[in-house]
Amino acid sequence: MIIAIDGPAGAGKGTLARRLAAHFRFAYLDTGLLYRAVGRAVLDKGAAPEDPAQATRAAEALDPAALDGPALRSEDTAQAASKVSAIPSVRAALLAFQRRFAQTPPGGAKGAVLDGRDVGTVVCPAADVKLFLTATPEVRAERRVKELQERGLEAIYARVLQDMNERDARDQARALAPLTPAKDALVLDTSTLDADAVFERALRHIASLNSA
Ligand code: DC
Protein backbone atom coordinates (compact mmCIF):
# COMPACT_ATOMS: atom_id res chain seq x y z
CA MET A 1 0.00 0.00 0.00
CA ILE A 2 1.27 3.42 -0.93
CA ILE A 3 0.10 6.61 0.79
CA ALA A 4 0.99 9.84 -1.06
CA ILE A 5 0.79 13.14 0.81
CA ASP A 6 1.39 16.40 -1.05
CA GLY A 7 1.00 20.07 -0.30
CA PRO A 8 2.84 23.33 0.31
CA ALA A 9 5.31 23.98 3.15
CA GLY A 10 3.85 24.06 6.63
CA ALA A 11 0.56 22.36 5.76
CA GLY A 12 1.30 19.49 8.17
CA LYS A 13 2.43 16.83 5.68
CA GLY A 14 5.42 15.62 7.68
CA THR A 15 3.52 15.28 10.93
CA LEU A 16 0.69 13.36 9.27
CA ALA A 17 3.06 11.19 7.23
CA ARG A 18 5.05 10.17 10.31
CA ARG A 19 1.89 9.35 12.25
CA LEU A 20 0.38 7.28 9.45
CA ALA A 21 3.68 5.44 8.95
CA ALA A 22 3.89 4.61 12.67
CA HIS A 23 0.21 3.57 12.76
CA PHE A 24 0.44 1.18 9.81
CA ARG A 25 4.13 0.26 10.40
CA PHE A 26 4.97 1.56 6.95
CA ALA A 27 8.27 3.04 5.80
CA TYR A 28 8.34 6.83 5.55
CA LEU A 29 10.13 8.99 2.97
CA ASP A 30 10.27 12.78 3.19
CA THR A 31 10.93 13.46 -0.51
CA GLY A 32 11.64 17.14 0.21
CA LEU A 33 14.82 16.04 1.97
CA LEU A 34 16.17 14.72 -1.34
CA TYR A 35 15.75 18.13 -2.97
CA ARG A 36 17.10 19.85 0.15
CA ALA A 37 20.22 17.66 0.08
CA VAL A 38 20.79 18.57 -3.58
CA GLY A 39 20.23 22.28 -2.87
CA ARG A 40 22.61 22.14 0.10
CA ALA A 41 25.32 20.34 -1.87
CA VAL A 42 25.18 23.01 -4.58
CA LEU A 43 25.35 25.84 -2.01
CA ASP A 44 28.27 24.16 -0.22
CA LYS A 45 30.16 24.13 -3.50
CA GLY A 46 29.60 27.85 -3.80
CA ALA A 47 27.53 27.32 -6.96
CA ALA A 48 24.11 28.74 -7.89
CA PRO A 49 21.10 26.43 -7.35
CA GLU A 50 19.71 27.60 -10.72
CA ASP A 51 22.75 26.15 -12.51
CA PRO A 52 21.43 22.99 -14.23
CA ALA A 53 24.85 21.33 -14.68
CA GLN A 54 25.90 21.74 -11.03
CA ALA A 55 22.48 20.79 -9.65
CA THR A 56 22.20 17.73 -11.87
CA ARG A 57 25.67 16.56 -10.89
CA ALA A 58 24.71 16.93 -7.21
CA ALA A 59 21.44 15.02 -7.75
CA GLU A 60 23.19 12.18 -9.54
CA ALA A 61 25.83 11.95 -6.77
CA LEU A 62 23.25 12.05 -3.95
CA ASP A 63 23.42 9.33 -1.31
CA PRO A 64 19.81 8.92 -0.14
CA ALA A 65 21.10 7.10 2.95
CA ALA A 66 22.75 10.30 4.18
CA LEU A 67 19.87 12.73 4.54
CA ASP A 68 20.49 14.12 7.98
CA GLY A 69 21.63 17.20 9.76
CA PRO A 70 20.22 20.58 10.76
CA ALA A 71 21.75 22.23 7.66
CA LEU A 72 19.04 20.56 5.57
CA ARG A 73 16.34 22.31 7.63
CA SER A 74 17.56 25.88 7.14
CA GLU A 75 15.69 28.48 5.09
CA ASP A 76 18.52 29.02 2.57
CA THR A 77 18.53 25.25 1.97
CA ALA A 78 14.75 25.31 1.46
CA GLN A 79 15.00 28.07 -1.13
CA ALA A 80 17.87 26.28 -2.89
CA ALA A 81 15.81 23.04 -2.85
CA SER A 82 12.91 24.84 -4.48
CA LYS A 83 15.24 26.23 -7.18
CA VAL A 84 16.99 22.94 -8.03
CA SER A 85 13.61 21.17 -8.02
CA ALA A 86 12.52 23.20 -11.06
CA ILE A 87 15.31 21.63 -13.17
CA PRO A 88 13.94 18.61 -15.08
CA SER A 89 17.21 16.61 -15.00
CA VAL A 90 17.34 16.98 -11.20
CA ARG A 91 13.80 15.62 -10.88
CA ALA A 92 14.66 12.78 -13.25
CA ALA A 93 17.72 11.84 -11.21
CA LEU A 94 15.66 11.58 -8.01
CA LEU A 95 12.64 9.79 -9.45
CA ALA A 96 13.90 6.20 -9.54
CA PHE A 97 14.93 6.20 -5.88
CA GLN A 98 11.50 7.49 -4.82
CA ARG A 99 9.62 4.93 -6.90
CA ARG A 100 11.80 2.09 -5.64
CA PHE A 101 11.21 3.20 -2.06
CA ALA A 102 7.44 3.21 -2.62
CA GLN A 103 7.31 -0.12 -4.42
CA THR A 104 9.87 -1.99 -2.29
CA PRO A 105 9.82 -0.23 1.09
CA PRO A 106 12.94 -0.78 3.20
CA GLY A 107 12.89 -2.99 6.28
CA GLY A 108 10.35 -5.35 4.77
CA ALA A 109 7.52 -2.90 5.52
CA LYS A 110 4.21 -3.72 3.86
CA GLY A 111 3.69 -0.20 2.66
CA ALA A 112 5.16 3.26 2.32
CA VAL A 113 4.15 6.82 3.09
CA LEU A 114 5.80 9.48 0.92
CA ASP A 115 5.30 13.21 1.32
CA GLY A 116 6.28 16.00 -1.04
CA ARG A 117 4.87 18.06 -3.90
CA ASP A 118 4.35 15.56 -6.74
CA VAL A 119 4.01 12.17 -5.06
CA GLY A 120 0.36 11.65 -6.02
CA THR A 121 0.72 13.21 -9.48
CA VAL A 122 4.11 12.01 -10.78
CA VAL A 123 6.10 9.75 -8.42
CA CYS A 124 3.24 7.38 -7.54
CA PRO A 125 0.25 8.19 -9.76
CA ALA A 126 -1.26 4.81 -8.85
CA ALA A 127 -0.92 5.32 -5.06
CA ASP A 128 -3.71 3.66 -3.06
CA VAL A 129 -4.28 6.77 -0.95
CA LYS A 130 -3.69 10.37 -2.00
CA LEU A 131 -3.98 13.28 0.38
CA PHE A 132 -3.34 16.93 -0.40
CA LEU A 133 -2.90 19.11 2.68
CA THR A 134 -3.19 22.84 2.51
CA ALA A 135 -3.66 25.78 4.90
CA THR A 136 -3.67 29.55 4.58
CA PRO A 137 -0.19 31.08 4.11
CA GLU A 138 -0.60 32.94 7.42
CA VAL A 139 -1.30 29.76 9.38
CA ARG A 140 1.55 27.91 7.68
CA ALA A 141 3.98 30.75 8.40
CA GLU A 142 2.87 30.84 12.05
CA ARG A 143 3.55 27.12 12.36
CA ARG A 144 6.97 27.54 10.81
CA VAL A 145 7.84 30.41 13.20
CA LYS A 146 6.81 28.24 16.16
CA GLU A 147 8.88 25.32 14.87
CA LEU A 148 11.96 27.53 14.42
CA GLN A 149 11.55 29.06 17.87
CA GLU A 150 11.21 25.62 19.44
CA ARG A 151 14.56 24.78 17.90
CA GLY A 152 16.03 27.87 19.56
CA LEU A 153 16.28 29.83 16.30
CA GLU A 154 15.25 33.40 15.71
CA ALA A 155 12.28 33.82 13.40
CA ILE A 156 10.56 36.92 12.11
CA TYR A 157 6.98 36.24 11.02
CA ALA A 158 6.92 38.68 8.09
CA ARG A 159 10.14 37.26 6.68
CA VAL A 160 9.01 33.64 7.09
CA LEU A 161 5.70 34.46 5.37
CA GLN A 162 7.52 36.14 2.48
CA ASP A 163 9.98 33.24 2.04
CA MET A 164 7.13 30.74 2.10
CA ASN A 165 5.06 32.64 -0.46
CA GLU A 166 8.09 32.90 -2.74
CA ARG A 167 8.79 29.18 -2.50
CA ASP A 168 5.14 28.18 -3.05
CA ALA A 169 4.88 30.45 -6.08
CA ARG A 170 8.01 28.85 -7.60
CA ASP A 171 6.85 25.30 -6.77
CA GLN A 172 3.43 25.96 -8.33
CA ALA A 173 4.66 27.76 -11.42
CA ARG A 174 7.36 25.35 -12.60
CA ALA A 175 6.69 23.54 -15.85
CA LEU A 176 7.50 20.02 -14.65
CA ALA A 177 5.62 18.32 -11.78
CA PRO A 178 4.24 21.55 -10.28
CA LEU A 179 2.60 21.56 -6.87
CA THR A 180 -1.03 20.68 -7.55
CA PRO A 181 -3.49 18.17 -6.10
CA ALA A 182 -3.97 14.91 -7.99
CA LYS A 183 -7.51 14.61 -9.38
CA ASP A 184 -8.22 11.70 -7.03
CA ALA A 185 -6.66 13.27 -3.91
CA LEU A 186 -8.61 14.14 -0.79
CA VAL A 187 -7.87 17.83 -0.21
CA LEU A 188 -7.72 18.73 3.48
CA ASP A 189 -7.49 22.34 4.62
CA THR A 190 -5.68 22.10 7.95
CA SER A 191 -5.92 25.82 8.82
CA THR A 192 -8.27 25.18 11.73
CA LEU A 193 -7.36 21.56 12.46
CA ASP A 194 -4.78 20.30 14.92
CA ALA A 195 -2.54 17.31 14.20
CA ASP A 196 -4.93 14.86 15.92
CA ALA A 197 -7.89 16.04 13.84
CA VAL A 198 -5.90 15.77 10.59
CA PHE A 199 -4.79 12.25 11.53
CA GLU A 200 -8.39 11.22 12.36
CA ARG A 201 -9.67 12.53 9.02
CA ALA A 202 -6.93 10.78 7.10
CA LEU A 203 -7.66 7.49 8.88
CA ARG A 204 -11.38 7.86 8.16
CA HIS A 205 -10.63 8.49 4.49
CA ILE A 206 -8.36 5.43 4.28
CA ALA A 207 -11.03 3.29 5.97
CA SER A 208 -13.64 4.53 3.50
CA LEU A 209 -11.41 3.60 0.55
CA ASN A 210 -10.80 0.13 1.98
CA SER A 211 -14.50 -0.53 2.48
CA ALA A 212 -15.46 0.76 -0.98
O1 DC B 1 8.97 19.64 1.66
P2 DC B 1 10.16 20.56 1.71
O3 DC B 1 9.82 21.93 2.23
O4 DC B 1 11.30 19.94 2.48
O5 DC B 1 10.65 20.71 0.20
C6 DC B 1 11.70 21.57 -0.19
C7 DC B 1 11.57 21.92 -1.66
O8 DC B 1 11.81 20.77 -2.46
C9 DC B 1 10.20 22.43 -2.09
O10 DC B 1 10.10 23.83 -1.98
C11 DC B 1 10.08 21.97 -3.52
C12 DC B 1 10.96 20.74 -3.60
N13 DC B 1 10.21 19.47 -3.63
C14 DC B 1 9.74 19.04 -4.85
O15 DC B 1 9.90 19.75 -5.84
N16 DC B 1 9.12 17.84 -4.97
C17 DC B 1 8.93 17.07 -3.91
N18 DC B 1 8.30 15.89 -4.05
C19 DC B 1 9.36 17.49 -2.63
C20 DC B 1 10.00 18.72 -2.52
SS3 labels along 62-89: CCCCCCCCHHHHCHHHHHHHHHHCCCHH
CA distance 89 to 87: 6
CA distance 14 to 182: 18
pLDDT band for position 41 (cuts 50, 70, 90): very high
CA of 49 to the centre of ligand 1 (A): 14
- Whether 139 and 11 have beta carbons less than 8 Å apart is answered as no
Give residue ranges with CB within 6 A of ligand 1: 9, 31-32, 35-36, 78, 81-82, 85, 116-119, 167, 171
What SS3 state is found at 6?
Answer: strand
pLDDT tens-place string over residues 49-64: 999 999 999 999 999 8
pTM of the full predicted structure? 0.96
CA of 81 to the centre of ligand 1 (A): 6
User: What type of residue sits at position 27?
Assistant: A
Q: Which of 31, 68, 101 to mutate to test the pocket of ligand 1 (most atoms within 8 A of CB)?
A: 31
CA of 212 to the centre of ligand 1 (A): 32
| Residue 147 pLDDT | 87
pLDDT band for position 153 (cuts 50, 70, 90): confident
73 has pLDDT over 90 = no
159 has pLDDT over 90 = yes
pLDDT band for position 70 (cuts 50, 70, 90): confident
CB under 8 Å to 187, separation ≥6 — which residues?
Answer: 132, 134, 181
CATH of span 2-203 = 3.40.50.300
Report the percent of the chain where pLDDT is more than 70: 100
| Residue 151 pLDDT | 84
| Residue 61 pLDDT | 96
pLDDT band for position 65 (cuts 50, 70, 90): confident
Report the percent of the chain where pLDDT is more than 90: 89
pLDDT tens-place string over residues 128-151: 999 999 999 999 999 999 988 988
